[in-house]
Structure 1
């Protein structure tokens, strides 16, 4: 009898093929959960998700800045938090809002409910929105999916709110959350303007200095949805990173997971839980504000850890950055903060160079500021 041989098994798909197969489904991490996965796929497994840096004791917390305080006291508190932590909770922020916004605490809750509703639509209704080309709005999983060594357990609606806002931007936002996220944008922008004024005063400058210098009408909103994870110890919601912009205004729901890296007065470094505070926003300094303040304010690493709860986590962040762009518009340390005794620590650059450097690397890379530092 003639011998027969079985065909050689097909080679296992490589990482690039697996990434493309995941992306081509157009349903994100939520789609994995819907499919009933009981373990985290290899693409999402981080070799050492939570590293060797310890968690801070339970009582540790980021500072609180109260906008109901007299302006000079609020400015001092915001400046102190920006110098020592780079993060703070903002309470009584309705003091920065238009008088008509009389139910300010309800606005983030409405936006969360709407974003959750979109993410929990049937897969066939979400998929048409899934894209990696922005066009002003896109829904996808992991902005650095093809650059990072391991993907994170989240999906995101990303909305480019300026500069050069698309005339039909509202029509491109999924109808399930359109009105609510645009409503929240208007209020968060008022909060950001008030904070830039306080942080300017904290540097000894006129209140308009930071906003005039940064023209912080470059706005990007990210609506993050972190589905329930079957193996939270194997992956992350967001890897450690710093935000590139001037200022970030973040609303987070009650699930928790955000952590900030902090070095105390004794030099000890730990991760500090940013536990949700009802009625509070989370504010953090971005890389551009650290540069503009000539290192007076600090942009610090933060991450999102997975939790064992059955419910998803939601957060909505707006990154404020300079709206003036172009090859003849340069940014760097504010001239008012530079002297022979305090020379500039960073060189000047354009926004195209800055963001070109940011998007050419994976999110976890810590080298962004180093690209613009002057040798001492």
Structure 2
């Protein structure tokens, strides 16, 4: 494979190199472990992607996403109302927040991170047994789920485990043994957190607490365990490019920074807080809320640290819905003062559009937005 330091002048066959890398099954972790001092050319991003990578640490050090204490859930109805207001404000203005006192024991958080880290830290030949590109069901381990679709690859490997609906759920024996127990335990804990947050988000919209659950937002679950190993040229690539998510995202990460959130025109660093979970809402929820909540672009920088950045994400999306069922802004949120902003669509249509767009900011929102009246 050619790299950026080799000075190769012959015709560059990008797809050939991508295919060779993919078929080697070494992953980004394998490249990092080999001691390379440069990166393969297909990981190098164009200037418009990497031109602002150094700015956040200089310009955004005073800003941070909201931190919300979920311990107030246990207190009086008045305290709950305050909590609902906090989450509504955070989701409307940032689209992201961190939660503390969420009820998950620190030991569980540590075990989950350590187990996913242990999977990625296995010898290459052991990891390679799970390497494949069938991302619609079961288990998939690979570098970049969009490796063949993206214009440039990003510096991370991922273990994807489908948890629901049942027709795509991974069989227990498919989940790598080294992290199987922890993955299944984390599913249970993260789902409880998501269920509580969906209730608070519903109440923030002024609808019944169970509204998001009734819509099926706990019916589609996928866990992704990312590894961002050391990158020798973090100035030339990124960990994950700027993108938005689909539904509700619950993120657990170790103490290696790298996640950034776009707030206005600035990129803001999301500093890891020990014991905290990072939450964000995606495009589907922005549409359902008729723009009361906002889905925000975020990215992960390439990791300049020798210690890998490990993150464990569970995406909660609408599942088990037929193609004859249409979604759009909740009728309770549409009025003469706040007209409908998006057209109706099926889950299948949304998923096809969302997956085909790749990691390219918020184009899905524009596809479903109704034209403004003159």
- Residues in 1 aligned to 2:171 and 2:333: alpha-carbon distance in whole angstroms: 38
User: 1:87 and 1:168, CA in 2 relative to 1: closer, same or farther beyond 3 A?
Assistant: closer
Q: What is residue 119 of structure 1 aligned with on the other side?
A: 120
The alignment status of 1:329 with 2:325, answered yes or no, reads yes
The offset of 1:341, in angstroms, is 2.3
Q: What is residue 353 of structure 2 aligned with on the other side?
A: 357
- Residues in 1 aligned to 2:285 and 2:271: alpha-carbon distance in whole angstroms: 24
- Residues in 2 aligned to 1:125 and 1:12: alpha-carbon distance in whole angstroms: 35
Query: SS at 2:357's partner residue?
Result: coil
Structure label with greater radius of gyration: 1
Q: In the TM superposition, what are the counterparts of 1:127-206 in structure 2 within 5 Å?
A: 127-134=128-135, 135-166=137-168, 169-206=171-208
- Residues in 1 aligned to 2:26 and 2:178: alpha-carbon distance in whole angstroms: 16
Q: What is residue 347 of structure 1 aligned with on the other side?
A: 343
Q: What is residue 35 of structure 1 aligned with on the other side?
A: 34
Q: Is the 8 A contact 2:239 2:303 kept in 1?
A: no
Q: Is the 8 A contact 1:136 1:165 kept in 2?
A: no
Q: What is residue 63 of structure 1 aligned with on the other side?
A: 66
- Residues in 2 aligned to 1:22 and 1:44: alpha-carbon distance in whole angstroms: 11
The offset of 1:215, in angstroms, is 3.6
Q: Which moves more between the two structures, 155-164 or 29-38?
A: 29-38
The offset of 1:35, in angstroms, is 2.6
1:313 alignment partner, one of 309, 321, 346:
309
Q: Which moves more between the two structures, 113-122 or 281-290?
A: 113-122
Q: Is the 8 A contact 2:163 2:170 kept in 1?
A: no
Q: What is residue 6 of structure 1 aligned with on the other side?
A: none
User: 1:167 and 1:370, CA in 2 relative to 1: closer, same or farther beyond 3 A?
Assistant: closer
The offset of 1:346, in angstroms, is 0.7
The offset of 1:168, in angstroms, is 5.7
- Residues in 2 aligned to 1:189 and 1:310: alpha-carbon distance in whole angstroms: 32
Q: What is residue 298 of structure 1 aligned with on the other side?
A: 294
Query: SS at 1:360's partner residue?
Result: helix
Q: What is residue 232 of structure 2 aligned with on the other side?
A: 230
- Residues in 1 aligned to 2:168 and 2:198: alpha-carbon distance in whole angstroms: 26
Could you list the runs of 5+ residues in structure 1 that have no partner in the other structure? 1-10, 95-100, 264-268
- Residues in 1 aligned to 2:168 and 2:371: alpha-carbon distance in whole angstroms: 40
Aligned length: 353
Q: What is residue 248 of structure 1 aligned with on the other side?
A: 249
Q: Is the 8 A contact 2:161 2:170 kept in 1?
A: no
- Residues in 2 aligned to 1:168 and 1:277: alpha-carbon distance in whole angstroms: 31
Aligned-pair Cα RMSD in Å: 1.7
Query: Which TM-score applies when normalising by structure 1?
Result: 0.90
- Residues in 1 aligned to 2:157 and 2:42: alpha-carbon distance in whole angstroms: 15
Q: What is residue 99 of structure 2 aligned with on the other side?
A: 90
What does the per-residue CA deviation read over 1:121-162, in whole Å, with 9 as the maximum and x for residues that have no partner?
111111110000134110001011111111000000011111
Q: Which moves more between the two structures, 78-87 or 127-136?
A: 127-136
The offset of 1:52, in angstroms, is 4.0
Q: Is the 8 A contact 1:163 1:218 kept in 2?
A: yes
Query: SS at 1:115's partner residue?
Result: helix
User: 1:168 and 1:319, CA in 2 relative to 1: closer, same or farther beyond 3 A?
Assistant: closer
The offset of 1:281, in angstroms, is 0.4
The offset of 1:165, in angstroms, is 4.6
Q: Is the 8 A contact 1:147 1:361 kept in 2?
A: no
The offset of 1:232, in angstroms, is 1.2
- Residues in 2 aligned to 1:283 and 1:252: alpha-carbon distance in whole angstroms: 11
Q: What is residue 76 of structure 1 aligned with on the other side?
A: 85
What does the per-residue CA deviation read over 1:102-128, in whole Å, with 9 as the maximum and x for residues that have no partner?
xx1221211111111111111111111
- Residues in 2 aligned to 1:181 and 1:51: alpha-carbon distance in whole angstroms: 37
User: 1:149 and 1:209, CA in 2 relative to 1: closer, same or farther beyond 3 A?
Assistant: same
What does the per-residue CA deviation read over 1:330-351, in whole Å, with 9 as the maximum and x for residues that have no partner?
1111111112222211111111
What does the per-residue CA deviation read over 1:235-272, in whole Å, with 9 as the maximum and x for residues that have no partner?
1001010002x210001110010000002xxxxx2111
The alignment status of 1:261 with 2:227, answered yes or no, reads no
What does the per-residue CA deviation read over 1:204-255, in whole Å, with 9 as the maximum and x for residues that have no partner?
11211122124422011111000111111111001010002x2100011100
The alignment status of 1:271 with 2:267, answered yes or no, reads yes
The offset of 1:325, in angstroms, is 2.2
What does the per-residue CA deviation read over 1:270-308, in whole Å, with 9 as the maximum and x for residues that have no partner?
111000011110000111110000000000000001232
